[in-house]
């Protein structure tokens, strides 16, 4: 285990209530590094866009909280719909009320399953993706930054995507939202940097989480390939001949939050095995 000097830091991770997800891997890594953790997720299905197949429900989040507590970490769970400013404000306040401060915010909540032919793309799908992936990060960052400015220190990590650097078919909203998230990262980095807050993004390529599995099924059907052939194609195209793992992203988060990364600000770091390099 690396020692990133994060003991006692307080970290909020949105969309972290699914066992196989990137968010929980980040929470587990930061907990192992000694951080106090606020797990958060939507908690309850909402309408067509947020069905139980795709979102982290409260029961699972509570189980994961117990798991981390048993490992010795200090953890609370706070459901939040990141589309709602009141929920985002309450989420950040819960961290401060419980642990006294907020040092790390990871904007990880994301919708990557609303993909449609561009000419048939529903306005409701567009709004759902932009509201979670971009507005959610804006709202959580805004409320976290208020406390971080008062502390004169803090670190915000936005989980963007390879789709923040390259275009993907059927994914107009997702691609636009992730490009936008890098724009938010850069604006925040220059505005908040003088106030002691570093803001960076991480751009993963494919990882077979619940969301990643859905995308494998979607794209393999679209391209007329069976699932395994499609997945093998992704591996074959990658210089390291594998797909990403949730731990790859969690490790990058821990590094970016540490003092080892104290001069890294406003970056959109590819964690893609060399598949994406601009």
Ligand X SMILES: NC(=O)c1ccc[n+]([C@@H]2O[C@H](COP(=O)([O-])OP(=O)(O)OC[C@H]3O[C@@H](n4cnc5c(N)ncnc54)[C@H](O)[C@@H]3O)[C@@H](O)[C@H]2O)c1
- The verdict on whether 230 is a catalytic residue reads no
CB of residue 3 to ligand X, shortest distance in Å: 26
Beta carbon nearer to ligand X, 21 or 154: 21
Secondary-structure percent of the chain, ordered helix, strand, coil, rounded to 5: 50, 15, 35
* Shortest distance in whole angstroms from residue 20 CB to ligand X: 6
Q: Both tokens of residue 256?
A: 């970016």
Out of 81, 248, 267, 276, point to the residue binding ligand X (CB under 6 A): 81
45 binds ligand X (CB under 6 A): no
CB atoms within 10 A of CB 212: 22
Among 34, 45, 210, 233, the residue binding ligand X under the rule CB under 6 A is 210
Question: How many residues contact ligand X, by CB under 6 A?
Answer: 31
As a dihedral over the C-alpha atoms of residue 200, residue 209, residue 18, residue 165, rounded to 10 degrees, the angle is 20
Residue 112 lies near ligand X (rule: CB under 6 A)? yes
CB 173 within 8 A of CB 122: no
**How crowded is residue 134: how many other Cβ atoms within 10 Å of its Cβ?**
22
- Strand pairing class (268-271; 197-204): parallel
Backbone angles phi, psi at 243, to 5 degrees: -90, 175
Residue 257 interacts with ligand X (CB under 6 A): yes or no: no
**Residue number, 36 or 253, with CB nearest to ligand X:** 253
Which range of residues in 31-39, 66-74, 206-214, 254-262 is near ligand X by CB under 6 A?
A: 206-214
Which is nearest to 14 in space by CA: 4, 6, 5, 24? 24
Interface residues for ligand X in 9-38 (CB under 6 A)? Answer: 14-15, 17-18, 21-23
The four Cα atoms 241, 245, 251, 257 give a dihedral, to 10 degrees, of 110
> Under the criterion CB under 6 A, does residue 135 sit at the interface with ligand X?
no
Our finding on whether 141 is near ligand X (CB under 6 A) is no
Residues that bind ligand X (CB under 6 A): 14-15, 17-18, 21-23, 41-42, 50, 55-56, 80-83, 108-112, 132, 159, 161, 204, 206-207, 209-212
């Amino acid at each position: 285990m690396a020692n990133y000097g994060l003991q006692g830091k307080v970290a909020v991770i949105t969309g972290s209530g699914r066992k196989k997800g990137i968010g929980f891997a980040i929470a587990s890594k930061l907990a192992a590094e000694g951080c106090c953790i606020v797990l958060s997720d939507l908690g309850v299905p909402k309408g067509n866009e947020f069905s139980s197949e795709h979102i982290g429900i409260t029961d699972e989040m509570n189980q994961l909280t117990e798991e981390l507590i048993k490992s010795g970490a200090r953890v609370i769970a706070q459901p939040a719909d990141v589309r709602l400013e009141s929920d985002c404000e309450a989420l950040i306040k819960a961290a401060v009320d419980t642990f006294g401060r907020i040092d790390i915010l990871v904007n990880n909540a994301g919708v990557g399953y609303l993909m449609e032919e561009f000419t048939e793309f529903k306005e409701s799908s567009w709004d759902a993706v932009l509201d979670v992936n971009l507005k959610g990060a804006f709202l959580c960052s805004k409320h976290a930054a208020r406390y971080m400015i008062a502390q004169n220190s803090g670190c915000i990590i936005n989980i963007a995507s390879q789709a923040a650097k390259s275009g993907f078919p059927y994914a107009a909203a997702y691609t636009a939202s992730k490009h936008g998230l890098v724009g938010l990262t850069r604006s925040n980095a220059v505005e908040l940097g003088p106030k002691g807050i570093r803001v960076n993004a991480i751009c993963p390529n494919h990882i077979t989480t619940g969301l990643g599995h859905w995308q494998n099924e979607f794209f393999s059907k679209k391209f007329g390939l069976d699932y395994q052939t499609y997945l093998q194609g992704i591996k074959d195209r990658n210089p390291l001949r594998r797909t990403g793992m949730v731990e790859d992203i969690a490790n990058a988060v821990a590094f970016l939050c540490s003092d080892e990364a104290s001069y890294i600000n406003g970056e959109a770091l590819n964690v893609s095995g060399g598949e994406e390099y601009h």
